[in-house]
Structure 1
Amino acid sequence: MNKWDWSKDKLFSDSPVLKYILCEGDAFDPKLELPRRCNEDYYHDLKKLFEHYNTKYMNAKKYIDDDVRLLSHEHIERLCNGILETIHLYHNGFPARAYQTFANELSHFTQYNAIPYDAQNGPRQQRTSLFRMRELDGGCASDRSAIFHVPASLRHCLKSSRYSIAGYPSLYLTTSLSLAQRESNQPKQAIASRFEINRHDTPMVFDLGVRPQDFTFAKNQGNSAEKRRGESAEDNEPIRVSKNYIRNYLAWFPLLAACSFVRSHQNGGFSDEYIIPQLLLQWIRDENQPPANSNRYLIEPSKETENRQEEGYISIIQHIAKRILSLEDNCREFPEAKKPLTPPENSELNQLSDKILSLSNNLDAATQSLMSNLPNDIQARNISKMEKDLLKTCITSIDRSCYRLRNLINRLRMTRRNKDREQGVLLDGKLFSAMHRLFESKKRLDWLASRSKRIVGIRYFSCKDLYAPNLGRNYVFPTESCSLDSNGREADMDEEAGSYCALLNSLFIWTNPVKIEDFASLDECESHLKDCEQLENLHGQSDWQAMHRSHV
């Protein structure tokens, strides 16, 4: 998704439903403004907010005439109750049960409402500068690894943050250096750098970066911020949001609110306000994980498969496609029918069942081998047309094979009612086992085919204090499978192994860090970083090199 430069843009809508829910008269409803501070405590304040929101949502659905097709109120109420139950379980010392409750509710909710990652319905495409600031502990740290995410080898230094638990490295970025300084607690000595997304990548980001106050219901109001340098009047116009976006925003508002409370005890050891944000990032990471190898009877890959791994990723998919088409050809030998198998067909199936099962086992092993040999940047880069076409062919062919196997199993059950019951049960088991292998293979290929739509981070407005959101927006990117040393090389199994995340290293390029005290002002430092054209990752790869590498 992410369009990467709309932290100060106003969103325009003339939807009566949106205005009714978010406003009281012509002013924004103060009970729904975000971020917000706790008056009583997090749980009870959130509960009151949910009750108020549910009432307005239900009334809007009943009485306001609008083309926006709101999600059923029952789903909104269930999400609210699920979030409150999650907090209750967490408070009572059951973090695992709390997460499971939260994950179940989100999995249920996403069946009825899309994840909010295309927030602005196609806004202006610009390359946005993202910034990171880090307190300088001493010495001169000028290499790129010093400003990248905290290495896993120093996880003992990591405190709990809004979206990441203590000890878990994540990459936090902001859209302005002023906000980065505020989020870093105004350090006296610090280093800063500018980050950009590689041009060939368009990362998907879970969007929690729009406050109710960011909407305008009068087109001529324009942006609340001053017109930015180099922008035309048209660029500074508020962006009109679609009806689908309004529906989506209102449906996910309870989760947005639960993640948007200012921390009450800044120096405390635990923060209620972090419970839901941290569980959300955990759920996103879970959703991004490849399907587990659930096959207990893993068949060892053949020498042919192992040899093809050396030929590259595309070659393995091509090899898998050939196996699938061969399996489909075998399943196609039996015509579709809703009647018992004839004696000749039954005899033929006896001879063919072992071959079908063997082909399914080999396919299962090949897809498992593929998943265990993925390139480090596979989730960060865009899927190529060749990969997409190959995977689509594979998945469609598996679907057709499963359909024919189900038809065969049904016909086999009709046949065994009369005779050869024992033989029928044996064949039934083989075909069921083959179909199970096909389902597991399809899950893996589905995951690969949809990886370009996978969310790799969260965009959110700052909740450092009530003023911070006016300075820009924040992004958080979790680390996955850290496997690089400080020079960007694959790390061996030693103390430094797993220090830096290969996926984030392939996704970003950034400037060498500079000391902020070397500049007269923060604005001067930000201007210097924006003018710097030498952006590289830990490999020393520039934007063009990273793009070229991803297509080789």
Structure 2
Amino acid sequence: MDKIDLDNIDLTNFIMPIKLNYDREYYFELYERLNSYKEYIKSLNDISQSTIENVEDNINLIVESVEDYYNADIAEAKNKILNLLRKYTLDDFIISELDKSYAFRGLAPFSELLDEVKEGYVNEYSEMNVYPLSFFKARLGNSAFEKKDMLHIPFCNRELVSTQRFSIPGVPCLYLGTTSYVCWLEMDKPQDNVFNVSSFQLPNLKILNLVIDYELINNQVKNLIKFKDDRIKREENIKLLQSIIEIFPLVYATSFSINSKERKFKYEYIVSQLIMQCLSDLKINGIAYASKKVKKSTRAFPQCINLAISMKINKKFHFKNERDKYADICENISLTEPVNLSEFIKMGGNNKTHTVGTWTKTFSYKFFSDNLPQCLIYLGSREIQYKYTEFANFDNYIFALTHDKANIFKVL
């Protein structure tokens, strides 16, 4: 393969999510696509040898972990993914506090990467760093749900926990999204009358950032060109670019979607669930990732980002009261009463204003509602600005409601 200058990098051949028809295709597609990625990275000029070596090593660890899993050596499969992740424990772009994660605040927390001139879609980076993040969770049903019902499935009901992308059967996990829209997508577009949503405020957890796609890499290359006369900023951007290039195969391996519905085991969840099993070893609380329900990952940030938080029982195997059925972290979570989408629309929908809380607009609405590609979603087979949807109005309405602990965690 001919050598390619770094400023001409183009990873559009590695669009995510990757759609397959059958489970049996997963391993071979993963192997071929990651090998193609490795060869492409090796063809780049001005890429460090250490980056090339890490890309090769990471790809080998991913492929071998799947092979180990197929051979029933789950412990060794997990160990390979753990060895991969351990390389990045000090990389604050990949592993950071929730409040400083690229997955939710974009590049705002990384001042060393930014131009002194304001970027086009940002009012003030300083404001982006302090404005509260917004998270949502949905439940389906016609019941009158309470706040506690919007938390994870209680430990006493493990039989209800099915396999999901970042959780295994019987082990509760709290799944949140940055908008009600992504919750709706993840639940396969349910009817309005059964779609109930709460807004969440979270403690400052430690998060693994898997919100990375080819466009982010391409844009970082543009920054190298922009900062060619600023040695410090150029070096910081090169450092980030190398980290992204190295971790990209792991993101890619977790971004497959298989069309077959009636399955007891899902091949595309193997690497994701191995990552989840590594979190305790690394003292990480959760994983941020782009929804695989979107047509392409470049339309995921910021409206379609998910957060999976592992729920720990902390040796509470005997349930003396209602609180014991939930993870300790839930005591530090504030949330709103759930709101039904159909009832919201009947109340006036986009004509309904609400200002009970201090904040009246969600993070993504406040900072990403201009006419830019980042603000587009697919709805009704066409692209539309998210701010013009009923979902955006729904988000803002719920976000402005009072957030508080579930009643079971309040001192009587």
Judged with a 3 Å threshold, the aligned counterparts in structure 2 of structure 1 residues 246 and 180 are, in CA distance, closer, same or farther, namely: same
Judged with a 3 Å threshold, the aligned counterparts in structure 2 of structure 1 residues 106 and 197 are, in CA distance, closer, same or farther, namely: closer
In 1, Cα distance between equivalents of 2:277 and 2:267? 16
CA deviation vs aligned residue, 1:383-409 (integer Å, no higher than 9, x gap): xxxxxxxxxxxxxxxxxxxxxxxxxxx
In 1, Cα distance between equivalents of 2:18 and 2:80? 25
The answer to whether 1:74 aligns with 2:53 is yes
Contact 2:88 2:95 in 1 (8 A): no
Match in the other structure for 1:456: 285
The answer to whether 1:259 aligns with 2:254 is yes
One-letter amino acid of the counterpart of residue 394, structure 2: C
Equivalent in 2, 7, 12 of residue 29 of structure 1: 12
The answer to whether 1:150 aligns with 2:153 is yes
The answer to whether 1:476 aligns with 2:302 is no
CA deviation vs aligned residue, 1:406-425 (integer Å, no higher than 9, x gap): xxxxxxxxxxxxxxxxxxxx
User: Post-superposition shift, 1:523?
Assistant: 4.0
Match in the other structure for 1:335: none
The answer to whether 1:243 aligns with 2:232 is no
In 2, Cα distance between equivalents of 1:207 and 1:104? 17
Equivalent in 25, 30, 35 of residue 41 of structure 1: 25
Q: Secondary structure at the match of 2:41?
A: helix
TM-score (norm 2): 0.68
Contact 1:114 1:248 in 2 (8 A): no
Equivalent in 47, 53, 64 of residue 85 of structure 1: 64
One-letter amino acid of the counterpart of residue 502, structure 1: D
Judged with a 3 Å threshold, the aligned counterparts in structure 2 of structure 1 residues 212 and 72 are, in CA distance, closer, same or farther, namely: closer
Contact 1:129 1:175 in 2 (8 A): yes
User: Post-superposition shift, 1:92?
Assistant: 2.7
CA deviation vs aligned residue, 1:330-360 (integer Å, no higher than 9, x gap): xxxxxxxxxxxxxxxxxxxxxxxxxxxxxxx
The answer to whether 1:140 aligns with 2:135 is no
Written as runs of structure 1 = structure 2, the 5 A alignment for 1:244-393 is 244-288=239-283
Contact 2:323 2:408 in 1 (8 A): no
In 2, Cα distance between equivalents of 1:134 and 1:467? 25
Judged with a 3 Å threshold, the aligned counterparts in structure 2 of structure 1 residues 492 and 160 are, in CA distance, closer, same or farther, namely: closer
Q: Secondary structure at the match of 2:20?
A: coil
Aligned residues: 317
Contact 2:254 2:269 in 1 (8 A): yes
Which consecutive residues of structure 2, in runs of 5 or more, have no partner in the other structure? 97-101, 112-124, 224-234, 346-389
The answer to whether 1:510 aligns with 2:341 is no
One-letter amino acid of the counterpart of residue 203, structure 1: L
Equivalent in 3, 6, 10 of residue 17 of structure 1: 6
Q: Secondary structure at the match of 2:247?
A: helix
Q: Secondary structure at the match of 2:50?
A: coil
CA deviation vs aligned residue, 1:409-460 (integer Å, no higher than 9, x gap): xxxxxxxxxxxxxxxxxxxxxxxxxxxxxxxxxxxxxxxxxxxxxx321111
Q: Secondary structure at the match of 2:138?
A: strand
One-letter amino acid of the counterpart of residue 474, structure 1: N
Q: Secondary structure at the match of 1:53?
A: helix
One-letter amino acid of the counterpart of residue 261, structure 1: F
In 2, Cα distance between equivalents of 1:252 and 1:505? 33
Identity of aligned residues (%): 21
In 1, Cα distance between equivalents of 2:53 and 2:63? 15
User: Post-superposition shift, 1:48?
Assistant: 1.1
One-letter amino acid of the counterpart of residue 528, structure 1: Y
In 1, Cα distance between equivalents of 2:262 and 2:321? 31
Contact 1:482 1:499 in 2 (8 A): no
| Stretches (4+) displaced over 6 A | 111-115
In 1, Cα distance between equivalents of 2:323 and 2:337? 23
In 1, Cα distance between equivalents of 2:255 and 2:236? 22
Equivalent in 187, 203, 206 of residue 204 of structure 1: 206
Match in the other structure for 2:369: none
Which consecutive residues of structure 1, in runs of 5 or more, have no partner in the other structure? 1-14, 220-239, 289-454, 485-490, 546-552
Contact 2:137 2:180 in 1 (8 A): yes
The answer to whether 1:537 aligns with 2:405 is yes
Contact 1:482 1:498 in 2 (8 A): no
Pairwise CA RMSD of aligned residues? 3.2
User: Post-superposition shift, 1:77?
Assistant: 1.3
TM-score (norm 1): 0.52
In 2, Cα distance between equivalents of 1:205 and 1:531? 25
Contact 2:88 2:94 in 1 (8 A): no
User: Post-superposition shift, 1:93?
Assistant: 2.8
In 2, Cα distance between equivalents of 1:54 and 1:478? 32
CA deviation vs aligned residue, 1:143-170 (integer Å, no higher than 9, x gap): 2101111111111111111000011111
Equivalent in 145, 152, 163 of residue 160 of structure 1: 163
User: Post-superposition shift, 1:115?
Assistant: 7.2
User: Post-superposition shift, 1:16?
Assistant: 5.8
Judged with a 3 Å threshold, the aligned counterparts in structure 2 of structure 1 residues 462 and 18 are, in CA distance, closer, same or farther, namely: farther
The answer to whether 1:54 aligns with 2:57 is no
